Amino acid sequence: MREAAFIKQNKEKWLEFETKIFGNSKTNTDELSKLYIQLMNDLAYAQTYYPKSKTILYLNNLAARAFQKIYKTKKEESNRIISFFKTDVPLLVYEYRRYMLYAFVFFFAFVFIGVVSARYDDNFIRLVLGDSYVNTTLENIQDGDPVAIYKSGSRWGSHIGITINNLRVGVLNFIGGILGGLGTIYILFQNSVMLGAFQYMFFKYDVFWESVRVIWIHGSMEIFAIVIEAMAGLILGASILFPKTYSRYESLKRGIRVSVKIFFSTIPFTLIAGFLEGYVTRYSNVMPNWLSVGIILFTLGTISFYYIVYPAVVHRENIKKEEQFKVSFFTRK
């Protein structure tokens, strides 16, 4: 059978599968299992007779999502929060990992712009950070405590104020994706350039290490979370600009579902960063270097593991389960 005839013969069936797999309507596990077997049969046929066809990629993706939904429908509602962070988000992060790469490329490029601009324009740091902040920091540097500004105010007040501000930035970063990703890139640009100029200011006055060992106690999770929120915004923007085989409306709905989940996964890290800034950073001047560096490495390692390493682990485990599921069903059949 020619590939065109194969596609025409099964097109309506595949579209029905898409509706049941990607739609919001609930489909029982038995019905999904039957759909999965049919998809695997079609996939096996396509791999045999059309080995270089894009149809294989389409069917493979459809079968993988059907498998995920089968296991998703088996989970109890009481386990939804655990399942969300343990399985759902990591699988989405792995599937859309290239958007994380894009977000990090933008982030480091914008930080570089901030550093270079601060290096060659003496007024740039004041333009970005404001005269009041720069003057206060310069006074603190002269007094021998470059980051004293992070120790002012009450612990509780600092914690709440910082957390609310970080959540606000995260929301703007994420929803900026509705403008085709341009809003997200703009918010990321603002924050990244500011970070570059900020760190260069401490470097310029020979207190770079003092700033790193203090600021990055909370900054590791805070900044990493901003990049992941940018990732979510870019996914949302891409769903509008590049709908692929879906209608633009359907693509947008899928983009919203995916990006919202990834955005919400950053909230615990933002809350932890706010807590560290309010309660731990202020004591950095009495900490030994090994303790402050240990906290930085632990926080950075934790969030890096969750968004970079762990998704690949969950993906591999999912593939193994899929293979076991496939064998058991074909054996039963």
| Same-domain status, 179 and 44 | no
| Same-domain status, 101 and 49 | no
More confident residue, 27 or 118: 118
CA atoms of 117 and 121, how far apart (whole Å): 6
Q: Is there a domain that residue 330 lies in?
A: no
Averaged pLDDT for residues 174-189: 94
Alpha-carbon separation of residue 114 from 17, 23, 205, 207 (angstroms): 49, 44, 17, 18
Q: Is there a domain that residue 324 lies in?
A: no
CA atoms of 22 and 250, how far apart (whole Å): 10
Q: Is there a domain that residue 322 lies in?
A: no
| Same-domain status, 8 and 118 | no
Q: Which of 65-79, 142-156, 290-304 has the lowest mean pLDDT?
A: 65-79
| Same-domain status, 268 and 216 | yes
| Same-domain status, 60 and 176 | no
Q: Are 113 and 106 in contact (CB under 8 A)?
A: no
Q: What is the mean pLDDT of the chain?
A: 83
More confident residue, 16 or 83: 83
Q: Is there a domain that residue 328 lies in?
A: no
Q: Is there a domain that residue 222 lies in?
A: yes
Amino acid of residue 305: F
Angle at 282 between CA 278 and CA 286, to 5 degrees: 150
| Same-domain status, 148 and 14 | no
| Same-domain status, 119 and 34 | no
As a whole number of angstroms, the longest Cα–Cα distance in the chain is: 82
Q: Is the dihedral of CA 73, 75, 81, 87 positive or negative?
A: negative
Range of the domain at 140: 90-314
Half-sphere exposure of 277 (CA within 13 A, CB side): 28
| Same-domain status, 47 and 168 | no
State the virtual CA torsion across 237, 240, 244, 248 in degrees, nearest 10.
Answer: 160
Q: Is there a domain that residue 307 lies in?
A: yes
Half-sphere exposure of 149 (CA within 13 A, CB side): 14
Residue with tokens 């096996």: 44
| Same-domain status, 58 and 95 | no
Residue 45 CB contacts under 8 Å (≥ 6 apart), including other chains: 6
| Same-domain status, 69 and 139 | no
pLDDT at 70 over 60: yes
Q: Where is the domain boundary, 74, 107, 133?
A: 74
pTM for this model (two decimals): 0.76
Query: What confidence tens digit (pLDDT) does each residue in 237-272 have?
Result: 999 999 877 788 888 988 999 999 999 999 999 999
Q: Is there a domain that residue 331 lies in?
A: no
| Same-domain status, 130 and 243 | yes
Q: Is 47 exposed, middle or buried (0-12, 13-18, 19+ CB in 10 A)?
A: middle
**Ramachandran angles phi, psi of 126, nearest 5°:** -65, -35
Query: What confidence tens digit (pLDDT) does each residue in 74-86 have?
Result: 554 447 788 889 8
Specify the pLDDT at position 225.
95
| Same-domain status, 95 and 215 | yes
Q: Is there a domain that residue 226 lies in?
A: yes
Q: Which of 25-39, 185-199, 244-258 has the lowest mean pLDDT?
A: 25-39
